[in-house]
Chain A
Amino acid sequence: MVDRFLDRGGGKLPGELADHVADCARCRGLYGWVLGPETPQELPNGVSERISAEVKKSLAPVKPLPSTGRLAARFVGIFGVLVAVLVALFGPGGAERMSGVQLAGVMTLLLAAAGLLAVFLSWQIVPGSLRRIPLSWLLGAFAAGFATVVALLFPWERIPEVLLAGWVCTYHGALIALPVGAVTLILALRGAPPSYRALGATVGAVAGLLSLTVLQFTCENQHAGHLLLWHGGVLALSLAAGYAAGWAAERVAARRRRR
C-alpha cells in the first residue's frame, strides 16, 4: 500500500497507513528517503564550462522531427511504394492465385503490421517516446495472426513438397530484405535511436515484413505450409540478422569511443 503512494509521488496518507508508517521504521525510512529532497551533486571544477565550450563549437539551428503520426505515415508510404514497385517488377502471380477472402485476410494483416511497425520505428528513433507495447508483443501478435490466417484460409499440401520447393523463396526474400533494410536504416538514422540492438531488430522486422509482403503477392505457390515455413522464415531470418547487425554496430561504436 505504501508503495502505491510512492508510485504517485507521495500525498496525504490515509489514517491506518499513516499510523503504520509512523510505527514502522523501515517504511518510514523508505518513504522519507524516496520523497525527500535530493542534495545537489557537487561537481568537479569547471565541468559545466568545459561542456558548454564543446557544445557551442557546433551550435546551429535545427528543425525538430515531425510528430509520431506523421513519421509513421511517411514510413508506411515508403513501404507501400516499395511493395508496389517490387510486385510490378516480379509480376503479381501470387495475387492472381488468391481468392477474394484470402486477399482480404492477408492484406488486412500485412497492412496492420506495417502500420504498427512504422509507429514502433517512429517511437524508437526519438529518445523518451512513450511505448505502449513492447516490440516482442507486436511481433508475437503478428506471428500468431499470420499463422492463423494462413492455416485457416490457405490449402495444405504434402510435407515433402513443402520442404523441397521452398528455399528459393527465402533466398529471394533475403535478397529483397537487404537493400530494404539499408534504406530503412538510413531513414531511421535521421532520428537518434539510443540502442543499436533494438533498432537493428526493428529494421530487420520492417525489411522482413516487406519481403514477406512482396513474396505473398508474387509467389505462385500459395499452399499454407510453404507460406508459413519459407515466407514466414524470411521475417524470422531478417529479424535475427537485424538484431545481430545492431549488436555488431554497438561493439564497433564502443571500440571507437575508447580510442
Chain B
Amino acid sequence: MPPETDRYRGRRRRSLDEEALRQLMIRYQQADPEAADELIRKLTPVLFGFLSAPSASRSDTEDLVQECWLRIHKSRHTYRPTEPVLPWIFAIARHTSLDGYRRRRRVESREVKTERLPERAEMPELPGMGLKDELGRYLNQLPNSQREVILLLKVTGMSLEEVARATSSTVGAVKQKAHRAYEKLRRLLGETDGFRRKS
C-alpha cells in the first residue's frame, strides 16, 4: 500500500464532546449561570460557522447567532437529557438560518426593484489558493439543502443519524443529499483541474 494511504485511516473527529455538552445542558436547565456561559463559549464559534451565508455580512451573521441563542434559551425545556445535544442545537440553528435567508431574499428583492445593482463579481481564483479554500468556495454553489448537510457533517462531526435529527429528515434523505453534494463537488473540482491544465 502506498504510504499516502496511511493518511486515509483517520475518522472524522468531533469538534465538541457530546457528554460534556449533555452535562452542561442539564446544569443550564437548572439555571446554572456558569454552565450557560460555558455552553455559549463552546458552541458560538461552531454556530457562527454554520450560520455564515454566502450573501450575508459578518454583522448579519452575528445577529443571526444572537437570534439563534435566544431561541435556544426559550426552548431549553424541550431538551431531554437522554437525547444528543448537537442535533437539538442545530435543529434550532437550522430554522434560524432559514428565517434569515427568507428575510434577506425579501430585502434583496425590494432593493433590486428600485435600482439595478451591478452583478456580483465571481471570487477570483488566486494563485496559491489552497484546496480547502477552493472547496469552501464550491460549497456555496451547492443548493441550500445539500450545503447545510455537508456543513453539519464537517463542522460538527455529527453522524448521519444526528444530521437527520437536526434537519427534521430521515437518514436516507440525508445520505442522498450528501452523496449528491459530493458528486457536485467532485465535478467542480474536476472542471477546475481541466481549466488549470488548459491554461
Tell me the minimal C-beta distance from A211 to chain B in angstroms: 27
Q: Mark B73-96, 1 if CB is under 8 A from A, else 0.
A: 111111111111001111110110
Determine whether the beta carbon of B81 is less than 8 Å from that of A30.
no
Q: Mark B137-169, 1 if CB is under 8 A from A, else 0.
A: 000000000000010011101011100111011
Given contacts A47-B65, A59-B33, A194-B168, contact A21 B91 (CB under 8 A): no
Q: Which residues of A contact B131 (CB under 8 A)?
A: 29, 32-33
In the assembled complex, 15 residue pairs joining A and B whose CB atoms fall closer than 8 Å, in A order, are A6-B153, A9-B159, A10-B11, A18-B2, A25-B189, A29-B135, A30-B182, A41-B45, A41-B48, A47-B66, A56-B33, A65-B80, A130-B164, A192-B74, A257-B67
Q: Does B108 contact A (CB under 8 A)?
A: no
Determine whether the beta carbon of A54 is less than 8 Å from that of B5.
no
Given contacts A6-B178, A30-B186, A33-B131, contact A191 B78 (CB under 8 A): yes
Determine whether the beta carbon of B1 is less than 8 Å from that of A31.
no
Interface residues of A in 169-187 (CB under 8 A from B): none
> Residues of A at under 8 Å CB distance from B?
2-3, 6-7, 9-13, 15, 18-19, 21-22, 25-38, 40-41, 43-44, 47-48, 50-52, 54-56, 58-65, 67, 124-134, 191-192, 194-195, 198, 250, 253-254, 257-258
Determine whether the beta carbon of B102 is less than 8 Å from that of A132.
no
Determine whether the beta carbon of B103 is less than 8 Å from that of A257.
yes
Q: Does B195 contact A (CB under 8 A)?
A: no
Given contacts A10-B11, A37-B13, contact A30 B62 (CB under 8 A): no
Determine whether the beta carbon of B10 is less than 8 Å from that of A258.
no
Other-chain contact of A54, B69, B159, B161 (Cβ < 8 Å): B69
Q: Which residues of B contact A257 (CB under 8 A)?
A: 67, 99, 103
| Closest partner residue, chain A, to B7 (CB atom) | A32
> Residues of B at under 8 Å CB distance from A?
1-2, 4-5, 7-13, 15, 29-31, 33, 36-37, 40-41, 44-46, 48-49, 52, 58-59, 62, 65-67, 69-71, 73-84, 87-92, 94-95, 99, 102-103, 106, 131-132, 135, 150, 153-155, 157, 159-161, 164-166, 168-170, 175, 178-179, 182, 185-186, 189-190, 193
Other-chain contact of B48, A6, A43, A131, A132 (Cβ < 8 Å): A43
Tell me what chain B mostly uses at the interface: helix, strand, loop, or mixed.
Answer: helix
Determine whether the beta carbon of A22 is less than 8 Å from that of B4.
yes
| Closest partner residue, chain B, to A57 (CB atom) | B73
Determine whether the beta carbon of B80 is less than 8 Å from that of A126.
yes
Which of the listed residues B13, B95, B168 has the most CB atoms from chain A within 10 Å of its own CB? Answer: B168
Q: Which residues of B contact A21 (CB under 8 A)?
A: 5, 8
Q: Which residues of A contact B84 (CB under 8 A)?
A: 128
Determine whether the beta carbon of A128 is less than 8 Å from that of B29.
no
Given contacts A51-B66, A130-B165, A258-B103, contact A65 B77 (CB under 8 A): yes
Q: Which residues of A contact B169 (CB under 8 A)?
A: 131
Q: How far is the CA of A128 from the CA of B80 in the complex (A)?
A: 10
Determine whether the beta carbon of A125 is less than 8 Å from that of B78.
yes
Determine whether the beta carbon of B44 is less than 8 Å from that of A51.
yes
Determine whether the beta carbon of B170 is less than 8 Å from that of A64.
no
Determine whether the beta carbon of B92 is less than 8 Å from that of A127.
yes
Determine whether the beta carbon of A9 is less than 8 Å from that of B92.
no
Determine whether the beta carbon of B44 is less than 8 Å from that of A254.
no
Q: How far is the CA of A38 from the CA of B168 in the complex (A)?
A: 24
Determine whether the beta carbon of B44 is less than 8 Å from that of A43.
yes
Determine whether the beta carbon of A127 is less than 8 Å from that of B7.
no
